[in-house]
Structure 1
Amino acid sequence: MLVHGGYSSGNHTPSFVPAYKPFSETLNKRDATTKQIRGNFSISENLATFKSSDSASDPPIDWIPRYSSYINRSQRRLRQGGLTKTLPAGFPARVESPLAWTASELKKEEYTVVLSEEDILEVERGLRDFKESKLAISLITRQTFQLPTLGPRLISLGTSLYNGRGFFVLRGLNPKKYSSEENVLIYAGISCWVAEKRGRQDEHNNMLQSRTNKLQPYHTDIGDILALYTLGQAYTGGRSKLASTGAIYNELAETRPDHIDTLQSPEWIFDTFGRAGEPYYKRPLLFNQDGKMVFAFSRRILTGSKVSPRTKGIPDMTDAQADALDAVHFTADKHALTLDDGQLGDILFWNNMSIVHARQGFIDGGPMNQKRHLLRLWLRNEELAWKTPEVLQSAWNVAYGSDDVSEEKWPIEPILDRDHVTTQRRSSGHG
């Protein structure tokens, strides 16, 4: 399924001021060689500069993380002591994999794949042939959208999503050359060579929807592979941020094993917002899948937000959970790659099982009346896919069709119905 992302209409210019200080930005302003919190949980001098209290009356945890609240809570819990210093059974001391990276290790030319003129001509021939076939968009496959030269290279790039760095940017398309329908066809055609299975992103089976322009904290979606095709760029902001789950795990396993214990606990409260028989359900945030560390969460479902307030009467998040959830966010931000050189026509692919992602807030408009407009796909490579955590399997079955035989819908233009967007369960993450 395909979804419009970050599309806005009208002349509304929102206010969005991040409520937290990016962890990486904070560290850059301080001594880069500062000690990390080690097994004895001694807080570093740099972090101790924040005013804190031993009371348990920290502000409630928010959808948008607050760095000062995180530090205060973390310091208080460290002083109180009694935190476990051992990892849960079966969890490794460290993940050794190309998928465990930090942004400073990456070179732009290694993850950016530029299409040649010949590649683009081949894509356009595939587009022409598919249009002439009169087949429905849902029938795009490697057989119906043929890319004899580019296709095998895309298959290889798809493999790198599982055993390489876990992401890449495909560059060189000019979406302004094509109609809205042609852009969808091209996107689906290219993507099926990267990973053939497409997922349904909401319970309405729609492909295109509007999205908020607020910043998005680190989270994962439902599914294996995510893709974003840039049809329009914001006047300012809106950049995607990717962080390796392996890097997050390695730092927390070394410095705060109690967080790993909390994250893998099945006691996390997921709000259903009144859309299911029960007001909430429980499951872990972190899974050990054959030695691969997999995060699966959407922060809004755990904390609520102004648009989706937390359901009254459901259990509160514990102090340990709030500390661990914020630790994931700020550790992710420390290691994250911000794709700040994104171009019109870029297609970004990443492994949702090995990477958490976030997005800057953005403003549309400016002298050229720019509007951020991205198309999103959920994909899966059936041959290379990791084993899905058991408690997530039903959601994966719905997304990828095992439990859903209803017709796919591919609306070419974005759906701007607020009620439609705010009542979705699947598309927003793990609702």
Structure 2
Amino acid sequence: MSPTQAPAFGPRAWTADQVRNDTSWIQRLTPAEVAGFDAALAHARTLDKPLLALEQKDFPLNAAARGALERAVATTQGRWGMCLVKGFPVERWSEADTRLAYWGMSLYMGVGRTQNRASEIINNVRDEGGSYKVKGGRGYNTNAKLDFHQDSCDVVALMTRRTAKSGGTSKVISSIALRDEVQRLRPDLMPVLQAPWHHTYQGTQDPVQPPFYRCPIFGDDPVYFSARTNRKNIDGAQRDFPEVPRLTQQQQEALELFDELMPGDKLCFSMELEAGDMQLLNNYVTLHSRTDFEDFDEPDRKRHLLRLWLAIPGSQPLAPQWEEYYGDIRPGAVRGGVRGSAITPEFLAYEERQAKALGMLWRPWRPLVTLADIQSSAA
């Protein structure tokens, strides 16, 4: 493979029309696959084990169900960088059943990553009265329209239990296509976007880490593209940390160009997630958002999705500048997530055990940059 040749079956740039006209990224579960998930759930229920203690043998999938998950994860690493799996029987699974089944599925897909300051492994995506564009604000517990962003892992998976009364439309773009548009319109901004930018952790860092991190928006690797952006967290670093360098004129112009391009009809593909849908996105080659939504009044009808952040065995390598945030840039390594302040021995044991079960590279977590490093350099 030449230095500038992308992997033969890897992700490619796409437009909204292209992904709309090719539905190969959508899978519909067969009766045999559904039966496999039901049977595994029934077995796992009898064990009454904590989620972090579960292993594949505790959620024994038949070949059909296991194959469905393997294809779904593989699809996220292919042409479109995403997959939608339809037909999980959430209408007859309780909330506890759905959570148990979803975690059981994850044991075949990857290593779960912690997602917030409470170091939770599964997040409820529902309106719990949170605020979005404030210090420490996150989008998953609000009903707000979200900025285009990616989550802090190889693959983010959303299981839809209930949909909103109106709104909550999922929006996805190819970050490779976004890169190509910037290259076409403003090639002078490419070196700016490939240099490190400061982002706030929004309070989700380990106590030994600084409250912000540095990461480029676009990677410059000629073979494996990766992107990372979230305007809310860039703006938050500017607002909350005077020690962070101020945005330059070119950086501001880049963000304004993003705001113009990302929601446009050319790049932005919208999908209405339905109950029983599982959406999986490759966070290095897609960016996502959603519209705001209005909920039903009845608690049992309110919009509810479950979110997993996964490190997966077939992940791509990352550029060296990504290591400060992701912790490990080797392909197929356990990486990503946000540590928070409540990592437990049970999680650490799960992480190592699950990595071994999936044949993934793993090493104990260590911060590449500490708060003490930042403080000493500023002294």
TM-score under structure 1 length normalisation: 0.64
Give the one of 347, 362, 373 matched to 2:304. Answer: 373
**Shift, 1:314, TM fit:** 4.3
Structure 1 match to 2:359: none
Alpha carbons 1:201, 1:399 under 8 Å: kept? no
Amino acid at match of 2:106: S
Give the one of 90, 115, 120 matched to 2:34. Answer: 120
2:163 corresponds to 1:233: yes
Secondary structure in structure 1 of the residue aligned to 2:180: helix
Partners of 1:111 and 1:180 lie apart in 2 by 27
Structure 2 match to 1:296: 228
Aligned residues: 314
Alpha carbons 1:234, 1:372 under 8 Å: kept? yes
Amino acid at match of 2:99: V
Partners of 1:407 and 1:319 lie apart in 2 by 47
Alpha carbons 1:205, 1:407 under 8 Å: kept? no
Partners of 1:115 and 1:314 lie apart in 2 by 48
CA distance change for structure 1 residues 127 and 279 in 2, over 3 Å: closer, same or farther? Answer: closer
Structure 1 match to 2:69: 154
User: What whole-Å deviation, never above 9, does each CA across 1:332-376 have from its counterpart, x for those lacking one?
Assistant: 323121113x21121101101110111111111269984211111
Structure 2 match to 1:339: 271
**Shift, 1:186, TM fit:** 1.4
Alignment of 1:29-428 (within 5 A): 98-106=11-19, 107=21, 109-147=23-61, 148-193=63-108, 195-206=109-120, 207-209=122-124, 210=128, 211-266=141-196, 268-271=197-200, 280-304=212-236, 309-312=239-242, 314-334=244-264, 335-340=267-272, 342-365=273-296, 370-382=301-313, 384-397=314-327, 399=336, 406-408=345-347
**Shift, 1:300, TM fit:** 1.5
CA distance change for structure 1 residues 316 and 367 in 2, over 3 Å: closer, same or farther? Answer: same
Q: Which moved more, 1:279-288 or 1:184-193?
A: 279-288
Partners of 1:204 and 1:113 lie apart in 2 by 33
CA distance change for structure 1 residues 365 and 388 in 2, over 3 Å: closer, same or farther? Answer: same
TM-score under structure 2 length normalisation: 0.72
Identical aligned residues as a percent: 22
Amino acid at match of 1:353: Y
Alpha carbons 1:263, 1:284 under 8 Å: kept? yes
Alpha carbons 1:249, 1:293 under 8 Å: kept? no
**Shift, 1:159, TM fit:** 1.4
Alpha carbons 2:162, 2:301 under 8 Å: kept? yes
Amino acid at match of 1:133: L
Larger Rg: 1
**Shift, 1:92, TM fit:** 6.8
- Alpha carbon RMSD of aligned pairs, Å? 3.4
Alpha carbons 1:235, 1:366 under 8 Å: kept? no
Partners of 1:218 and 1:202 lie apart in 2 by 19
**Shift, 1:316, TM fit:** 2.6
**Shift, 1:264, TM fit:** 0.7
**Shift, 1:166, TM fit:** 1.2
Alpha carbons 2:179, 2:218 under 8 Å: kept? no
Secondary structure in structure 1 of the residue aligned to 2:274: coil
> 5+ residue gaps in structure 1?
1-90, 410-431
Taking CA–CA contacts closer than 8 Å with sequence separation of 6 or more, which of the two structures ends up with the larger relative contact order? 1
**Shift, 1:281, TM fit:** 4.7
Partners of 1:181 and 1:394 lie apart in 2 by 36
